[in-house]
Amino acid sequence: MAKICELLANLEMDELMETVQLDLDNGRDPVEILKECEAGMVKVGELFSAGDYFVSDLMMSGEMFKEVGEMLEPHLSGKTGDVLGKVVLGTVEGDIHDIGKDLVYVMLKSGGFDVIDVGVDAKPEVFVDALKESGAPILALSCLLTTAYDSILNTVKAVEEVGLRDRVKIIIGGGPTDESVVRYTGADAVGDDAQSAVRLCKEML
């Protein structure tokens, strides 16, 4: 296992932060560091599923991932000058996972998008209000829980009900989402990772 991945999976906070700082000082690509962290989070999920880790460990890993994200953000953001377009982003109702969403936020911003982040556990009307206010042509929904698929569905319906569906593309992502969830919810596309969020948004414009 790569070092950063291992330190995250083993919940070694101090050493993780030191290693990330050292890697950055040595000019390592921050996107590579993020990818190693993602692998570490997958390992944490496996340990949780196996019963070796508890919810407190999940929370710890979440905090660690966030700290690394904050450390990396200045190195990732604003790589391009022009704003390509606006995107409303959030985690759907009933779901409070925000690590992946925050990563998508950072990557979209560094990819040149103006991102309106409505946070977690966001009700359909919160997304609709943000779309109306911003005039954004793209809605990006994050969902980590299979139990929250209906929240995606309800959000898509709410966008339809206010008459915005024909001018707003809806992309989804997060752990368990796939093409079958796209079909079930009526969204337009699904992405596997933060880079695919950038690619999809560019395609949608």
Nearer to ligand B12, 25 or 65 (CB): 65
Q: Which two tokens stand for residue 171?
A: 């992309």
Nearer to ligand B12, 30 or 174 (CB): 174
Map the footprint of ligand B12 across residues 137-176, applying CB under 6 A: 140-142, 144-147, 171-176
Nearer to ligand B12, 119 or 176 (CB): 176
> Is-contact 146 115, C-beta < 8 A?
no
**DSSP 3-state assignment of 164?**
coil
**Secondary structure of 3-60 as H, E, C letters:** HHHHHHHCCCHHHHHHHHHHHHHCCCCHHHHHHHHHHHHHHHHHHHHCCCCCHHHHHH
99 binds ligand B12 (CB under 6 A): yes
Binding mask 6-35 for ligand B12 (x = CB under 6 A): ------------------------------
Q: How many CA atoms lie within 13 A of 204 on its CB side?
A: 28
Rounded-to-integer distance, Cα 106 and Cα 15, Å: 24
95 binds ligand B12 (CB under 6 A): yes
109 binds ligand B12 (CB under 6 A): no
194 binds ligand B12 (CB under 6 A): yes
40 binds ligand B12 (CB under 6 A): no
Nearer to ligand B12, 25 or 128 (CB): 128
> Is-contact 90 122, C-beta < 8 A?
yes
Q: At what angle do helices 13-25 and 30-49 cross, to 10 degrees?
A: 160
What single-letter DSSP state applies at residue 115? E
Nearer to ligand B12, 134 or 196 (CB): 196
Contact positions vs ligand B12 (CB under 6 A): 38, 41-42, 44-45, 48-49, 55, 58-59, 61-62, 94-101, 103-104, 140-142, 144-147, 171-176, 191, 193-194, 196-197, 200
